[in-house]
Amino acid sequence: MKSSKHIVYILECRDGTYYTGYTTDLPHRLEQHACGKGAKYTRGRAPLSLVYHALFETKREAMQEEYRIKQLTRAQKEKIITEEVQTNEESAELQRKRDR
């Protein structure tokens, strides 16, 4: 069975809105969004910033998470994004300490 990554991501659009999507190739998908070939929602809302992404073992898990995030309020999405940033900062700090 082919092993692939399943990614759910959130983009912040120029107008401050969020777009949530699913992909198996995040760099390629971000390029599509940037070129106006991604989702209709993101066209005309560039520049876009990747503010969150999560990896899943199966497509089903990823699709369920994408759906769950799309049902959230803006405040709830912002909480997910903030927690992700804090987790990344903590991970980077731990790595710096290990590298010393």
In tens, the pLDDT along 28-82 reads 999 999 999 989 999 989 999 999 999 999 999 999 999 999 999 999 999 999 9
Pinpoint the alpha helices (H) of the chain: 26-34, 59-71, 74-99
The Cα–Cα gap between 39 and 22 comes to: 11
The answer to whether position 1 is within a domain reads no
Q: For the beta carbon of residue 61, count every other beta carbon within 10 angstroms.
A: 14
The answer to whether position 50 is within a domain reads yes
CATH of the domain at 36: 3.40.1440
| pLDDT at position 99 | 73
**Cα–Cα distance list, 84 to 32, 52, 56 (Å):** 24, 7, 15
3-state secondary structure of 10: strand
| pLDDT at position 32 | 95
Contact 69, 80 (CB under 8 A): yes
- Give yes or no for residue 2 having a pLDDT over 60: no
**How many domains does the structure of the chain reveal?**
1
The model's pTM? 0.83
Q: Is the dihedral of CA 33, 37, 42, 44 positive or negative?
A: positive
The answer to whether position 76 is within a domain reads yes
The answer to whether position 20 is within a domain reads yes
Angle among Cα 3, 90, 12 to the nearest 5 degrees reads 70
The answer to whether position 13 is within a domain reads yes
Tell me which residue range forms the domain holding 85: 6-99
